[in-house]
Chains A and B, each alone.
Chain A
Amino acid sequence: MKRRAGACTPALLAAAVTVAAGVVACATGTGKEEMQPRPQLSAERQLQTRRFEGISEEKLMAASTGVLQDLGFTIKVSNVDLGLATGIKDREAKAPDQRAGVIVLMILLAATTGHAPPASAIKEEQTVRVLVTTRPVPGSINAYEVRVTFHRFLRQPLVFEADSLRDPKLYEGFFELLSKAIFLEGHRL
């Protein structure tokens, strides 16, 4: 009996779609965990925040966005009324542990697609996003808290890792630059 080639293919494809739908359904949570603050929030907030006095909020925001631009960030959102600015910066990842991630990615790609692009074709690109906020210190005049948070997305050709950056040196470095910028701003002729 002759079999018509392709007669089974639509059924197989339909089965594949059903399985994929099932996998996608299993992969969901409700967002509860993501809406909980971390236990280390208090300590991290201290690391991410500095108080500045004797300067208007507008000048503080201007100095903060200036530092971000100096660091190579593109400012995406800037709102003086609400005291916030966000920025984004792309750079290549070069650290050994990040390279290891790219190798795993290549193995995964080969397993799922039957081929993997050569290592030289995969760029270890990293996107860093930053959020700077200012908030008046209750009960004080011309005193504000500046808080900065950094997030990283390691990508290409798929997003492999996305997380907050928590290295204290990052935050100390930012506030050192901000303090210098405010000092220079205050002493401009």
Chain B
Amino acid sequence: MLLRFPTWAVLLILAHGCATEPGPAHLMQLGPHAAANREAQTRRFSGASEAELLAACVGVLQDQGFRITTSEARLGVITGIKSRSDQDVLADVGRQLALASVTLGLHPDIKTPPPDSYGVVLVTRRIGSEARTHDVRATFYQMLLGQGALASPSGQRYAAVITSPALYQQFFGRLDAALARSRPIN
């Protein structure tokens, strides 16, 4: 015997599928939380040259298991990727299945497949004429690159910014500690 879906649930599912995709113009606009995100993702550091700061950033990213995918020291840019293990991804799939079974597939958290990687873009910027004062902005991403055991046959990919303030607080705490370690002991 088939499960009986209430009519309103069927219409809701169909309506979601029929919604048209917005054009790309909206991708060039600042979101409502852009200023708040920028603040959370940025810290000012004094007393270190840009080279020392970048080296410390690379060290902290290495500590977290990131590999550096691009870097341009002259511009103060570093990007990195860290894979999520297949076990962690499968655990997410299990969670989504449990959610799906309870919510008849309507929970928003199950619409997106779980990420298989984390990404980071890190930029340093000198402040004024101070050679030893810089802003560091780090932006972390959850990404689906379509690799690993759960590579999607459809080739679906995404990168979503992680906005958790706790993540950035902890990251900058570790960067502070790395800079302190690298300073010569007087």
By a beta-carbon cutoff of 8 Å, the part of chain A in contact with chain B is: 2-6, 9-10, 13-14, 17-18, 20-21, 24-25
Contacts and interface: CB of A to CB of B under 8 A. Distances in A.
B90 A10 contact: no
15 contacts: A3-B1, A4-B3, A5-B1, A5-B3, A6-B3, A10-B100, A13-B101, A14-B98, A17-B90, A17-B93, A17-B97, A20-B90, A21-B87, A21-B91, A24-B87
Interface in B76-104: 86-87, 90-91, 93-94, 97-98, 100-101
Contacts of A9: 101
A10 B1 contact: no
Contacts of B149: 20, 24
B2 interface: yes
A10 B3 contact: no
A4 B94 CA distance: 22
- Report whether over half of chain B's contact residues are helix, strand or loop; otherwise say mixed: helix
A9 B2 CA distance: 13
Interface of B: 1-3, 86-87, 90-91, 93-94, 97-98, 100-101, 149
A24 B86 contact: yes
A10 B103 CA distance: 12
Q: Which 9 A-B pairs have the closest CB atoms?
A: A10-B101, A24-B86, A21-B90, A17-B94, A24-B149, A13-B97, A6-B3, A17-B93, A21-B87
A113 to B, nearest CB: 9
A151 to B, nearest CB: 18
A2 B2 CA distance: 11
Contacts of A24: 86-87, 90, 149
Contacts of A20: 90, 149
Contacts of B98: 10, 14
Contact of B94 (A5, A6, A18): A18
Nearest to B100: A10
A4 B97 contact: no
A139 B86 CA distance: 49
Contacts of A25: 87
A18 B91 CA distance: 9
A3 B3 CA distance: 11
A139 to B, nearest CB: 31
Contacts of A2: 1
Contacts of A6: 3
Given A10-B97, A10-B100, A24-B149, 18 more contacts: A5-B3, A9-B101, A10-B98, A10-B101, A13-B97, A14-B94, A14-B97, A14-B98, A17-B94, A18-B94, A20-B90, A21-B86, A21-B90, A21-B91, A21-B94, A24-B86, A24-B90, A25-B87
B107 to A, nearest CB: 13
A17 B90 CA distance: 7
Nearest to B3: A6
